[in-house]
Amino acid sequence: MKDKIHPKYYTDAKVICSCGNTFTTGSTKKVLKVELCSKCHPFFTGERRMMDTAGRVERFKRRYQIKD
C-alpha cells in the first residue's frame, strides 16, 4: 500500500441524530450528523409512519386519486 494516501481514521467518531440520540463509532470524519438512527427509524421502533419528503405522499394520492 502507498504511504500517506489514506484518510485519518477516528475510532471515537461521534454520531449525532436529529432526534437527539448520540453514540460513537469508527469513521474517517470526527463528527457525523444523521437524520435517522436505530432509536427513531420506523423499522427498528415498530412504528408505521410515512416520511413525507417535499409532498411526495400528497402528489401520489393526487395522481392515483386516493381518498383518506
Q: What are φ and ψ of residue 14, in 5° steps?
A: -95, 130
Q: Which domain range does residue 25 map to?
A: 1-45
pLDDT, residue 51, reads 61
Question: Coil, helix or strand for 26?
Answer: strand
Task: Collect the ranges in the chain with pLDDT lower than 50.
Answer: none
pLDDT, residue 45, reads 67
In the sheet that holds 10-17, the strands lie side by side as 22-27, 10-17, 31-34
Number of domains in the chain: 1
E-strand ranges in 1-68 read: 10-17, 22-27, 31-34
| 20: in domain | yes
CATH code for the domain in which residue 9 is found: 4.10.80.400
What pTM, to 2 d.p., does this model score? Answer: 0.57
pLDDT, residue 24, reads 95
